[in-house]
Amino acid sequence: MTVQRASDSGGPDAEWAAIRARGRNAYIWSHGVLRWGGFMLCFSLGVFQYAHFGHPFSLEGNWKLRFVTALVTWMFVGYAYGRSSWAKKCREADGGG
């Protein structure tokens, strides 16, 4: 299946139609969990590590627990963000907001 870009096929409406055709779950997991949640996971762990241990890649302390806790947290928050973003885009595309 070939996905056309908005610039190739007529703008943001065509791009949203292609995203919508792939489905809600694909959007939530790719946009919310992996893209947004993954970025926040890396960012928050780096900031925490630097603030507490002076280096973003330090393995001091209980880093495994921090990593698992952050992973679960950002997966949940990323999923909620993806669902919210999907609902907002659907409302805008359907003319309701």
DSSP string, the chain: -PPPPHHHHTSHHHHHHHHHHH-HHHHIIIIIIIIIIHHHHHHHHHHHHHHHHSSTT---SSHHHHHHHHHHHHHHHHHHHHHHHHHHHHHHHTT--
pTM across the whole model: 0.76
For 36-75, the pLDDT digits (tens) are: 999 999 998 888 887 877 777 777 778 788 889 999 999 9
Res 27 pLDDT > 90: yes
Q: What local confidence, expressed as pLDDT, does residue 2 receive?
A: 56
Listed by start position, the domains of the chain span 29-93
